[in-house]
Amino acid sequence: MSAARITRIGATKDQLGESPVWDERRQRLHWIDALAGLIRTFDPFTGTVEQFSVPAPIGSMALQHDSGAVLALRHEFAHYDFDKRLLTAGPSIGLDHPRVRLNDGKADPYGCFLAGTMHGDRAQDETPVGGLYRLDATGALELLETDLAVSNGPCFSPDGRTFYLADSARRVIWAYDYRPNAPLANKRVFVGTDAQGSGCDGATVDSEGYLWSVLVRIGKIARFAPDGTIAGMIDMPIRHPTSVTFGGSGLDVLFVTSISRSHALRDDHPDAGGLFAVEGLGVRGLPAHRFGAD
């Protein structure tokens, strides 16, 4: 992907940038600084960034059909109204473990929000606590998957029938058959990334059904074909990119978040923790799914 052009956007510096999502209705990009407890909103027309403070840490977010977002906080979900700057508590996952928190999440095509946990500083023989949770628009919460050490990169195929989920600690991305109001089915390995020397972090799927996943420890973004083979690779200018989403008026800009200082990783590059735009890929993304009833 030698034709790709990578540009830093603005001057924000996140400790742990994550969960970028493009609002195609308002033509804005939202993302979070997970450790600082910030939601940031970038307006590409004015170049301005607005920020909203919420309790840290934030695992992830997804847009709702109204002016707000659903958030995965430490052990519970919440709703945030951008216009009112108001946080409303949602259901808890029922854990009070000091080293387990909610992490990456995405809305599904049917109005639910899926978010998984990460179990930090886990002993080698210690079974991970937590799992993957699905929150529906009524507030009902269900556990879909267990035994996840560091869940990341949840996303869906264009037809919504395949769900992808990475465990960064195990350096694997799984694929599942997916239906609303049904358990995950037919779990299989989509790709292993041990040969690349990194686990996968955030991910998205483009309009052709290819999965873009961040290789967080080696400063690269991989594009995987639907059969799991590597179809392309982007070298980022910083050491630890974290997550990706397509945005822009043509959904053809890949936005990338990054780390300056997380609990496990650190990068002293002057652009570390910045937001980046990758252009010239010749690929389009898909509109982000939203939480709740339309």
What single-letter DSSP state applies at residue 10?
S
Q: What confidence score (pLDDT) does residue 67 get?
A: 82
Q: Is the Cβ–Cβ distance between 289 and 108 less than 8 Å?
A: yes
Question: Which pair of tokens denotes residue 114?
Answer: 């899926």
- Give pLDDT, residue 42: 98
Q: Look at residue 83 in the predicted model and tell me its pLDDT.
A: 95
CB count, 10 Å around CB of 237?
15
Can you list the domains of the chain with their CATH numbers? 5-279 (2.120.10.30)
As annotated, the active-site residues are 201
The predicted pLDDT at position 209 comes to: 98
| The pLDDT of residue 126 | 83
- Please check whether residue 44 is in contact with residue 27, taking contact to mean a CB–CB distance below 8 angstroms: yes
What is the pLDDT, as a whole number, of residue 97? 87
Residues whose CB falls within 8 Å of the CB of residue 144, separated by 6 or more in sequence, listed in order: 114, 131, 132, 133, 134, 183, 184
Predicted pLDDT of residue 66: 84
Residues of the chain with pLDDT under 50: none
pLDDT computed for residue 1 by the predictor: 65
